[in-house]
Amino acid sequence: MKKHIYFLISFVLILLDQISKYIIRIQVPNFHSIAVIGNFFKITHLQNTGAAFSLSFGSLLLNKIIFLTVTLLVLIVFIILLWKSNSKFNSLIYSLIIAGATGNFIDRLTMGSVTDFLDFDFPDFIIQRWPVFNLADSTIVIAMALLIYGEFFINNKNDSKEDK
């Protein structure tokens, strides 16, 4: 299987993530919102020094050190997994995770925070308002959804064939 395709997918997604964040940083002042679809979808520029859902260790320096270190380790693991994978499905998942982790790693390394801007208001039965996120976060969420799908539907199907 040609691995370069999956690394190319990661590269293109990282590029799109970084371009979108750059445009937001130069066009939308921090903490400002632009309504796109009423209150449902806004472009809201935030600089997140924490992790997912703005989780934080309370110190900007500690956040940066821990998040960069963990991300670097995650990247190493998923690059190795991608390199060794014989599954197109898993390779796609790994390339999405690599793209998302790298996109946010670049932000954290160069600016000390991650640029978030996608702001959705889902029905209140989920939470009051969904945390603002970016394209890199989206690739990781999509990868996790595919991973769960693969575990429940693809691997179970393969297990059923082996049982017969």
137 included as an active-site residue: yes
Q: Which residues contact 17 (CB under 8 A, 6 or more apart)?
A: 99, 100, 103, 134, 135, 136, 139
pLDDT at position 72: 98
- Which residue in the list 119, 137, 159, 163 is annotated as catalytic? 137
Helices (H), 28-59: none
- Which residue in the list 116, 124, 159, 163 is annotated as catalytic? 116
pLDDT at position 159: 52
pTM: 0.88
pLDDT by residue for the chain (164 residues), tens digit each?
Answer: 688 999 999 999 999 999 999 999 999 999 999 999 999 999 999 999 887 766 777 888 898 999 999 999 999 999 999 999 999 999 999 999 999 999 999 999 999 999 999 999 977 666 778 899 999 999 999 999 999 999 888 876 655 555 44
pLDDT at position 156: 64
Q: Which residue has the tokens 């702001």?
A: 119
Q: Which residue has the tokens 């691995």?
A: 3
- Closest by CA to 139, choosing from 105, 109, 94, 106, is 94
CA 53 centroid distance within chain: 12
Q: Which residues contact 107 (CB under 8 A, 6 or more apart)?
A: 21, 113, 114, 115, 136
159 included as an active-site residue: no
CA-only gyration radius of the chain, Å:
18
pLDDT at position 52: 72
